[in-house]
Amino acid sequence: MKNKTVREISSGIREKKWSAREVADVYLAEIAERDSRYGCYLTVDPEKVRSQAEAVQRQIEKGEQNSPLAGVPIAVKDNICVKGMRTTCASRILENFISPYDAEAVQRLKEAGMIILGKTNMDEFAMGSTTETSAFGPTKNPWNIGHTPGGSSGGSAAAVSAGLAPVALGSDTGGSVRQPAAFCGLTGWKPTYGSISRYGLVAYASSLDVIGVIGQDIWDCALLWDAMAAWDRKDSTSVPRQRGRLAAFPKDGLSGKRIGIPEEWLKEEADSEMAAAVESAARKMSALGAEVQNIHLPVTAAYGVSAYYLIACAEASSNLARFDGVKYGMRAKEYGDFHEMYRKTRGEGFGTEVKRRLLLGAFVLSAGHYEDYYRKACTARARIRQEFRDIFQNYDLILGPAAPSSAPALGFGLEKPLERYRRDIHTVAANLAGLPAVSLPAGLSKKGLPLGIQLMAAPFGEELLFAAAACYQDAVMKLECPCQRGERDEDV
Ligand code: GLN
């Protein structure tokens, strides 16, 4: 059952080709044998996985469980709480924190009979785009281990790409589901802000954070979204579902659709391979019945990245104040008074990138600078939202790159944070405006690394976006990581 989609694993279980326990054993064996090469997982508890799988199998046999997800394993990013398991956010400060409860999204997947395989590596507190800021070492891209799998949900993307999980949860504050999915040749689904509860997702920037899905294709992503999207009173920003359950997508999901390509995103912000991938996707979409035109997003292109980083850091500096050596996780071993305990705990517990952002966030929120930075960033955000509202008056979808290029080499620009931040230009806009967006594989670079495009829709346009993505994906070839066929993944 290796390399099977969620749907294939699930129908195999229902047709009694294999049991949930057998499926779990296959993935556990793969992880034990191959994960040391990539570093996808931070925690795997084989005993727990097996007992969950046996319990779900019994429910299926008694006819008590007939969800299309029953018995299918899933990897979960390590900033999403799973009861009784470590939730470290890839940070020393939470190294030994065991969550006493399930995130709402996890709870819903467990109710649907999914089996939690383990917790995946990420950038510390989801701050980064390469999984290199993890306190526990980087994850490597299974397509080529000299390259980053992207981030911050790099462990989740690498696990699915290497065949160490059929599907995974990630979180997306500024692109962390879409970009790693794109770098690993997968489909990355970021829902409308508020459609999946954030309860149990460790907060980075609360007005931008969403839980998303990294899958092998859009149909698997849609199945999981369907199981997770619901109003939750435990999350004050959660919104009710607009419609009932998703039906099968129309085959002609692109016919008559108006698609805009922001010129600014291609001209200076994408390399030639990526620009060619977007142009070729546009041609395919036209052939499938869409009307594709160039559009302009001048405000978003000029201010998106700056507004995003000011707002994200400001919110992070407030959210991460809770890690104080008292309520959660580690406390420095030696200290004098309370202030020293606080200073040392945070000094030892957080890594360099997290500290950089907490300082920046505290600065832009401070009395003398609030008006100059934070307030201006919020104004820019309001104008960006308006720019998208105006575009969606005339267009159904926006098409662009999921990143400026294919996956960079590990260590790329490590000492140049601003250059790294700039590379998020294509993804942060959807978070600032709360839009649903999906990254889809679109061929390979000359070096043999996946390229990813992105489609975006107006808020709550999930069904339109699923249908359009399905129609496109039906027409293009699926990418399969060569490492799954036992081929080399060395840097060449
Ligand atoms: N790369 C972006 C950042 O570092 C996005 C991260 C994310 O989506 N969690 O903030």
Confidence of residue 247 (pLDDT cuts 50, 70, 90): confident
Cβ of 174 closer than 6 Å to ligand 1, yes or no, is yes
CA distance 301 to 426: 9
- The pTM assigned to this predicted structure is 0.97
- Ligand 1: residue of 89, 121, 129 to mutate (most ligand atoms within 8 A of CB) is 129
152 Cα–ligand 1 center, Å: 6
Check if the beta carbon of residue 399 is closer than 8 Å to that of residue 426: no
Q: Which of 161, 176, 238, 317 is catalytic?
A: 176
Q: How confident is the model at residue 492 (pLDDT cuts 50, 70, 90)?
A: low
- pLDDT tens-digit map of 283-323: 999 999 999 999 999 999 999 999 999 999 999 999 999 99
Residue 491's pLDDT is what? Answer: 64
Please tell me the class of the 6-295+388-485 domain: alpha beta
Residue 327's pLDDT is what? 86
* 256 alpha carbon – ligand 1 mean position (Å): 34
pLDDT tens-digit readout, 169-182? 999 999 999 999 99
**Whether residue 489 has pLDDT greater than 90:** no
Per-residue pLDDT tens over the stretch 35-48: 999 999 999 999 99
**Is 171 noted as a catalytic residue in this protein?**
no
Q: Tokens in use for 460? A: 């709550």
**C-beta 427 within 6 A of ligand 1:** no
For the chain, domain boundaries: 6-295+388-485
pLDDT in tens, 138-160: 999 999 999 999 999 999 999 99
Q: What pLDDT shows up at residue 8?
A: 97
Q: What is the DSSP letter of 424?
A: T
Q: Where are the beta strands (DSSP E) in 90-177?
A: 115-120, 168-172
Residue-wise DSSP of 320-374: GGG-SSSSSS---SS-SSHHHHHHHHHHHHS-HHHHHHHHHHHHHHSTTTTTTTH
Does residue 245 have a pLDDT over 80? no
Mean pLDDT value across residues 84-101: 97
pLDDT of residue 248: 81
Which pLDDT band holds residue 3 (cuts at 50, 70, 90)? Answer: confident
Residue 108 near residue 234 (C-beta atoms within 8 A): no
The CA 205 to ligand 1 mean position distance, Å, reads 10
Can you read off the two tokens belonging to residue 162? 């290497």
Would you state the pLDDT for residue 479? 87
Q: Does 226 contact ligand 1 (Cβ within 6 A)?
A: no
Which of 193, 358, 418, 424 most suits a substitution to test ligand 1, by most atoms within 8 Å of the C-beta?
A: 424
What percent of the chain has a predicted confidence (pLDDT) above 70?
99
Tell whether ligand 1 has an atom less than 6 A from the beta carbon of residue 153.
no
pLDDT at 348 over 90: yes
Tell me, using a 6 A CB cutoff, whether residue 149 lines ligand 1. Answer: no
- Say whether 406 is catalytic: no
Active site residue 77: yes
pLDDT tens-place string over residues 103-116: 999 999 999 999 99
Residue 223 has pLDDT above 80, yes or no: yes
130 CA to middle of ligand 1, Å?
A: 9
